[in-house]
Structure 1
Amino acid sequence: MAQLWGGRFTKETDQLVYNFNASITFDQKFYRQDIEGSMAHVCMLEKQGILTAQEKADILKTLKEILSEVESGKLEISTKYEDIHSFVEANLIDRLGDTGKKLHTGRSRNDQVALDMRLYTRKELLETDELLKELLETILKIMEENLDTIMPGFTHLQKAQPITLAHHMAAYFEMFGRDRQRMHDIYERMNYCPLGSGALAGTTYPLDREYTAELLGFYGPTLNSMDGVSDRDYLIEFLSALSTIMMHLSRFSEEIIIWNSNEYQFVEIDDAYSTGSSIMPQKKNPDIAELVRGKTGRVYGALVSLLTTMKGIPLAYNKDMQEDKELSFDAMDTAKGCLALFRGMLATMKFNKDRMRESANHGFTNATDAADYLVKHGVPFRDAHGIVGRIVLYCLDKKIPIDAMSLSELKAISPVFEEDIYDAISMETCVNTRLTIGAPGVDAMKQTIEKEKAFLADDWQDTVKKDWEDRLLAR
């Protein structure tokens, strides 16, 4: 058992207790962040005269060697160590002796793990944001290609009014666009450095926390040492944002599953993103969409688990907080995997435009426009609503759409109808006379697309300093 503590203990930790307490099996995931945090800490210690220039150079050189060997597979992270911090420090001491023992000067595992988790979460947030951007670019491309693709819009899963595929996709662009804004908001709040908080009350060493924060790409240091080691709000916010992303993906998946069904046949999912049946040769199943829908619960579970863990913890650090990692790591991996796979499925999906148009034609989606026609000719809306209701009943009995009725049939229900009713209730008219911003008309959608292009062009990550890893490794 390799531990960083033990001086005040007179007997070995029980093996079961050690195993229960250890975190190396999962916190090894941020070995890179642990080493980078140590490198920044060492640079600051030398700047403050706490380490010599030679000690700094030796420690940095050895930390880089350990990082390189772990990434190449030459050095295996072993479970004989309690956590990733003890693994890195023990290997450093094995190679440098007493000089390696100076690494932890002015630092606690409490602020060390707080830093590692924040660095790892920040990396995951930026990667998730990039995947969201790629998904938005795919959605925007579909929008641009389908301004005239008419389909039914639904409420209560019943056909309601005609829209376009571009308009339907634009709704998801809005959702995932808000998800990107949430990534930015979280980044702005979380990008402060807890290193230097010590165990909970700072340290007597003359640390330069602003310098450490700068080296690690943070805006500055956290301003309260107790909060610095015990804050997981940023992680809760990120898991909440991931849960919202998964909810959006799940809604989208549900629609694709419905559209892919034999009854709808609106889409054909590419073979690369489908599977078959072991006994039914005709089957082509939308497994990716179904799995995305199913995995949403895993991400929700991580959020609820962390909220539950944190709700009763007094200040400052408590061992309960070790539970912030396993489910969070799984949620991060799950969300990123779902975003990548969903984008690939969407980008290769084929839309059956004729089928969509036919479905809109036979769903009485132009009934509201027929009522509007009557209102424009002086019929009170409530009366117009009742007249069109009788028309729908007539069409259901005849098994025809409204525009298949003859003018004499329409006039038998209301003499107000004239020949121009057919143009007024055509699918194109129903869609393209809706021109307010946010509506499905072609001109309105073109305005929306220009705004969405500008949204993607103004990428918040362009302002983020992401070269701190290179700067650290160059030292």
Structure 2
Amino acid sequence: MAGKAWGGRFSEPTNEQVELFTESISFDARLAAVDVKGSQAHARMLAEVGLISKEEADQIQTALDEILIEIQQGKIEFSPSLEDIHMHIESALIARLGDVGRKLHTGRSRNDQVSTDIKLYVRDEIDHLDKLLQQLQRAFVSRDDDLDLILPGYTHLQRAQPVNAVHYWLAYTEKFQRDRERLADCRRRLNFSPLGAAALAGTTLPIDRDQTAKDLGFTAPAANSLDISSDRDYLAELVSSLSLIAIHLSSWAEEWILWCTTEFGFMTLSDAYTTGSSIMPQKKNPDVLELIRGKSARVIAASQQLFVLMKGLPLAYNRDLQEDKLAAFAAIDTIKSCLELAPSIVINAKLNRDKIASRIDDGFLDATALMEYLILRQVPMRTGHEIVGNLVALCESKNCRLKDLSLEEFQKTAPQIDNDVYDVLGAENAVSALRSFGSGGHDSVRHQLKLWQDRLAEN
């Protein structure tokens, strides 16, 4: 058992199947760079407090740099017998430096070490995800050429009211902004250093946790050593936030998949982001959007996996927590792959303007504008609602639109209606009449677009 960091009290070797069952090097190797970063900060602190010499700390830092390069170049062979990336790096360090390498783990445990590594890794990934979300926001905001286009807005997938096309793009920009803010909140809460909490109770050695926290860019040391060993709230929060990103991406993908159908005919995707059929030569399938919609299931499942993993664990560390990385890494990787493709899909999609315009007055999209016209003429809202409902029924019986009714027909139902009613009828007039803050009217949308253009230009 000499090769095991914990082998001193064992007299029998570990069963080979157990080694394979308990290893995590197959998935935690990606933590190598942050493990080295955390270990180097720990070595510097040990030297500052006099637990190792300055020369020993320098030797450790130099050797760790060399080991990381070798790992990145594939020169270090991974073995299940060494369990995880932490023990692989420590083993390589000891092979180089002997007793000097054995001193590195002074005042820490793998429990606080792994939590430190994950926090450093996740912090970097959050920063990267934020940039990807910002790029997607910029892609939507860049579609300002659509300001002159009106689209039907839907509720229950039924035509409801017309809106400026850019209103759609800004709706997703808002959703992804909330996603960015959730990630920022998660980053703020996780940014407290576990390093130096040791196994669960802290240490009798005179370590300086404030130094390592500052050195690694944490806000401060986390305050309770018992909590530190078991805390994976930050991963659950991260993956929950990623689940909402996945849901927003899936909703967007679903909408554009519908828009690309012959039945809608609103949109044509770039050939570069579609595929064909092996048997039907005419097909142009929105496979990338379908997979973005489908991959959302992985992220949502990862969130549930973490919650179930954590729900029954007593304080402090339990080996179950080794499984946390599988869920978190899967969610991070999936969201990154979706976000890396999404901006180009948004930028290169084309709206079928003529087809949209030819049907924009279908579905009585101006009915609400007519009701509000009546409200402005002192008709109670519910009465106005009923009047317009009756007028819509009349139009359906005549197979015409509201704006096709004569003034006489309007006034038979509602004497309050005057000739200026035609100023709010039709999709274009109905959109122009929208005036409330945040509405889909032309003036409101231009205002919001300018705010977003300025906001995204600043970052």
Shorter-normalised TM range: over 0.9
Q: Name the structure 2 match of 1:370.
A: 370
One-letter code of the match for 1:304? Q
One-letter code of the match for 1:204? T
- 1:332 has 2:332 as partner: yes
Equivalent position SS for 1:153: strand
Q: Name the structure 2 match of 1:104.
A: 105
After alignment, is 379-388 or 180-189 more displaced? 379-388
Q: Name the structure 2 match of 1:43.
A: 44
- Residues 47, 381 of structure 1: alpha-carbon distance in 2 compared, 3 angstrom cutoff: closer
Q: CA deviation at 1:238?
A: 0.4
After alignment, is 398-407 or 103-112 more displaced? 398-407
- 1:54 has 2:67 as partner: no
For 1:54 and 1:379, the matched residues in 2 are separated by 87
- 1:223 has 2:207 as partner: no
- 1:72 has 2:38 as partner: no
For 2:286 and 2:337, the matched residues in 1 are separated by 16
Deviation readout 1:199-248 (Å, 9 max, x if unpaired)? 11111221111111111111111111111221111111101100111111
For 2:290 and 2:226, the matched residues in 1 are separated by 44
After alignment, is 234-243 or 435-444 more displaced? 435-444
Q: Name the structure 1 match of 2:34.
A: 33
Equivalent position SS for 2:75: coil
Contact persistence 1:239–1:302 (CA under 8 A): yes
Contact persistence 2:424–2:433 (CA under 8 A): no
One-letter code of the match for 1:226? L
Equivalent position SS for 1:205: coil
Contact persistence 1:37–1:216 (CA under 8 A): yes
Q: CA deviation at 1:379?
A: 4.4
One-letter code of the match for 2:111? N
After alignment, is 60-69 or 448-457 more displaced? 448-457
Deviation readout 1:166-205 (Å, 9 max, x if unpaired)? 1122221111111111111111111111010001111122
Q: How many residues are aligned here?
A: 458
Contact persistence 1:437–1:445 (CA under 8 A): no
Q: Name the structure 2 match of 1:125.
A: 126
Deviation readout 1:290-321 (Å, 9 max, x if unpaired)? 11111111111111111111111111111111
Q: Name the structure 2 match of 1:168.
A: 168
Q: Name the structure 2 match of 1:11.
A: 12
Q: CA deviation at 1:449?
A: 2.4
For 1:357 and 1:364, the matched residues in 2 are separated by 14
- Taking the TM superposition and a 5 Å limit, the aligned residue runs for 1:244-283 are 244-283=244-283
Q: CA deviation at 1:71?
A: 1.6
Q: CA deviation at 1:274?
A: 0.7
- Residues 376, 198 of structure 1: alpha-carbon distance in 2 compared, 3 angstrom cutoff: closer
Structure 2: runs of 5 or more not aligned: none
Contact persistence 1:151–1:356 (CA under 8 A): yes
- Residues 202, 357 of structure 1: alpha-carbon distance in 2 compared, 3 angstrom cutoff: same
**What is the CA RMSD across the aligned residues, in angstroms?**
1.9
Contact persistence 2:246–2:299 (CA under 8 A): yes
The TM-score, its normalising length taken from structure 1, stands at: 0.92
- 1:422 has 2:422 as partner: yes
- Taking the TM superposition and a 5 Å limit, the aligned residue runs for 1:233-248 are 233-248=233-248
Equivalent position SS for 2:159: strand
One-letter code of the match for 1:65? E
Deviation readout 1:33-83 (Å, 9 max, x if unpaired)? 111111111111111111112211211111101111222233343444211
Q: Name the structure 1 match of 2:88.
A: 87
Contact persistence 1:159–1:360 (CA under 8 A): no
For 2:410 and 2:436, the matched residues in 1 are separated by 30
- 1:115 has 2:120 as partner: no
For 2:238 and 2:231, the matched residues in 1 are separated by 13
Equivalent position SS for 1:181: helix
One-letter code of the match for 1:207? I
Q: Name the structure 2 match of 1:139.
A: 140
Equivalent position SS for 1:107: coil
Q: Name the structure 2 match of 1:469.
A: none
For 1:445 and 1:419, the matched residues in 2 are separated by 28
- Taking the TM superposition and a 5 Å limit, the aligned residue runs for 1:455-474 are 455-456=455-456, 459=459
For 2:375 and 2:300, the matched residues in 1 are separated by 48
One-letter code of the match for 1:366? D
For 1:96 and 1:380, the matched residues in 2 are separated by 86
For 1:381 and 1:75, the matched residues in 2 are separated by 75
Q: CA deviation at 1:285?
A: 1.0
Q: CA deviation at 1:418?
A: 4.0
- Taking the TM superposition and a 5 Å limit, the aligned residue runs for 1:367-406 are 367-377=367-377, 379-406=379-406
After alignment, is 317-326 or 442-451 more displaced? 442-451
Q: Name the structure 1 match of 2:353.
A: 353
Q: CA deviation at 1:443?
A: 1.9
The TM-score, its normalising length taken from structure 2, stands at: 0.95
Q: CA deviation at 1:146?
A: 2.4
Q: CA deviation at 1:19?
A: 1.4
For 2:377 and 2:177, the matched residues in 1 are separated by 42
**What's the % identity of the aligned pairs?**
46
For 1:214 and 1:72, the matched residues in 2 are separated by 30
